Structure 1
Amino acid sequence: MSGMNGTRAVRVLLFGAAADQAGARELELQVRDGATLGDLWNELTGRYPGLTPMGDTLAFAVNQEYAGMERRVSPGDEVAILPPVSGG
């Protein structure tokens, strides 16, 4: 769905159980101007409902920096969805 006039896609990297649920380790999602990480998550869970129950345990990073759901995402950003980190 990338157009000739420049892609509006965010690269999404999935790890662990999130990758298993989505059936992919890397996806591209189109984003609208002003979209947040929360909007992106809603899009992902719409496509891959098995991700929904994991939302509270996953960590998210945008361009290799941990981020909250309010963080804005832009075309060209890289979003990583990471499994919970166990302490020790």
Structure 2
Amino acid sequence: MEQVKVLLFGAAADQAGVREAEFTANGVTLDELWSMLTLKYPALSPMRGTLAFAVNGEYAKGEETVRAGDEVAVLPPVSGG
């Protein structure tokens, strides 16, 4: 079965201790995928309000659905100006 690949960056990668994870998660929302991720890496849980998601290189909101074969990036806050 195909997987959803999750790429972690910045503090999220530091807290999880990994930069990449895979989940069998076809047809779930990003919010549901986040729940799966925090079950596996509980230290990520308090970070949710500071992170953004991108699916296949496009910013996405929590209610959007991911499919097998998608690549989800968990992105830290962007700063600068």
Q: TM-score, normalised by structure 2?
A: 0.93
Structure 1 stretches of 5 or more lacking a match? 1-6
Identity %: 64
Aligned-residue offset at 1:21: 1.2
| CA distance in 2: counterparts of 1:87 and 1:69, whole angstroms | 24
Aligned to 1:31: 25
Structure 2 stretches of 5 or more lacking a match? none
- Residue 71 of structure 1 aligns with an amino acid whose one-letter code is E
Q: SS of the residue aligned with 1:80?
A: strand
Q: Does 1:56 align with 2:43?
A: no
Which of the two has higher C-alpha Rg? 1
The structure whose residues are more often strand, as a share, is 2
Runs (4+) of structure 1 exceeding 3 A deviation are none
Aligned-residue offset at 1:22: 1.2
The structure whose residues are more often helix, as a share, is 2
Aligned to 1:11: 5
Q: TM-score, normalised by structure 1?
A: 0.86
Deviations 1:46-68 (A, max 9, x none): 11111011100001000000000
